[in-house]
Amino acid sequence: DDNAVNREVLREALMSLGAEGDFVSNGVEAVEAATKKHYDVIFMDGSMPEMDGFTATKLIRDAEGRNGAKSTYVVALTAQVRGADADAWGAAGADRHMTKPFTSARLTEALKAAGTGVRVIQPAPAPAIVEPPAALEPAHVPEPATAEAQLIDSEAVATMEAVGARSGRDVVAKVWKLFLSQAPDAVFKLETLAAGSDPGAVARQAHFLKSMSLSAGAAQLSELCEGMEQDGKVGDIAAARQKLVATRPLLDETCAEMSRRLTAKAEAAVG
């Protein structure tokens, strides 16, 4: 995954379950790592620079076929899988996918399905969306437009808190501090691209910011980015620009709320 926020969330979640992993930031590095070492399971992001996750997964499968190697269980870890994208993951050779933000329960399911030798520590109960155990999970269905998303997704926060309770680390603080440091630059890049004439680039950057927002629990911001991503995909850069007007103020509001909660938590710990 090329997104540091996403990598940190997954790293902490895996460690809390007793698993270890290597982390890379693009598809080229993923293929290289997979050819040098056999992994019990590979968590693969879809949208990455240099080489996307679909291509990387296909190349890993091709190499396994040529070498007669044991097939590695591949889990597509993505912000969203719909229609053609879901078919593309299957065609590339992914065994399963999980949409962000994922829960510890779903991550545990994936590790068990992969048949890993890891003794998975059972996660503490936490709010989670009940999902069918199909190999390829259905795409996340947004809430109706009439039901406004929370500024901060309470379920995503609860999941991070549960992970932290098992590991003894303040996962929420780690993830939010990363978000606070990187999200403003991601929005600036989106603004710069939207001023240009490449709707595809706008869609990719909106997806990047959406993915980061989902992992950090920035629900309203992720929904806004979803709209800009879809606008970019259909070539409607004008519509994306209209939504972009609200992005910076919403980011500021989100960051202010995260900072407020972090400060309150730190003060409570001192007191």
Residue type (1 letter), 256: A
Residues in the chain: 271
Integer Cα distance of 236 and 232 in angstroms: 6
The distance between the two most distant Cα atoms of the chain, rounded to a whole number of Å, is 61
Task: State yes or no: cis peptide before 142, omega within 30 of 0.
Answer: no
Bridge partner residues of 255 (DSSP): none
pLDDT at 36: 92
Higher per-residue confidence, 46 vs 196? 196
pLDDT band at 130 (very low <50, low <70, confident <90, very high): very low
Summary mean pLDDT of the chain: 86
Cβ–Cβ under 8 Å, residues 94 and 57: yes
CATH class of 4-141: alpha beta
Task: Decide if pLDDT at 25 tops 70.
Answer: yes
pTM for the model: 0.82
pLDDT value at position 240?
Answer: 98
The whole-number pLDDT of residue 154 equals 95
Check if the beta carbon of residue 32 is closer than 8 Å to that of residue 126.
no
- CB atoms under 10 Å from CB of 20, counted, come to 8
Q: Are the C-beta atoms of 227 and 18 separated by less than 8 Å?
A: no
Alpha-carbon torsion, ordered 221, 55, 63, 42, to 10 deg? 10
Contact 46, 89 (CB under 8 A): yes
Domain boundaries, the chain: 4-141, 171-270
Q: How many other CB atoms are there within 10 angstroms of residue 39's CB atom?
A: 17
pLDDT score of 148 = 59
Is-contact 33 22, C-beta < 8 A? yes
Residue 131 has pLDDT above 70, yes or no: no
pLDDT in tens, 201-256: 999 999 999 999 999 999 999 999 999 999 999 999 999 999 999 999 999 999 99
Strands 41-44 and 96-99: unpaired
pLDDT score, position 127: 38
**CATH superfamily of this structure's domain 171-270:** HPT domain (1.20.120.160)
3-state class (DSSP) for residue 137: coil
